Amino acid sequence: MSVTGLALSLLIAIVSISLCFLWKKVNQEMVINLMEKRLL
């Protein structure tokens, strides 16, 4: 495997992990907002 391919796969891994964290955070905020709307 070439250095460029290795760097590219590493970059893709970092991006996918950060997107996953962002998605979880957004989902939590949406769920909390929905819960608050139902309670109010």
Would the pLDDT of 5 be above 90?
Answer: yes
Integer angstrom CA distances of residue 19 from 2, 4, 15, 22: 26, 22, 6, 5
Rounded-to-integer distance, Cα 1 and Cα 7, Å: 10
Mean pLDDT over 12-23 rounds to: 97
Mean pLDDT over 5-34 rounds to: 95
How confident is the model at residue 31, as a pLDDT? 92
**If you compute the radius of gyration of the chain from its CA atoms, what whole number of angstroms results?**
17
pTM for this entry: 0.61
Q: What percent of the chain has pLDDT over 90?
A: 85
Token pair for 32? 């909390």
Would the pLDDT of 1 be above 70?
Answer: no
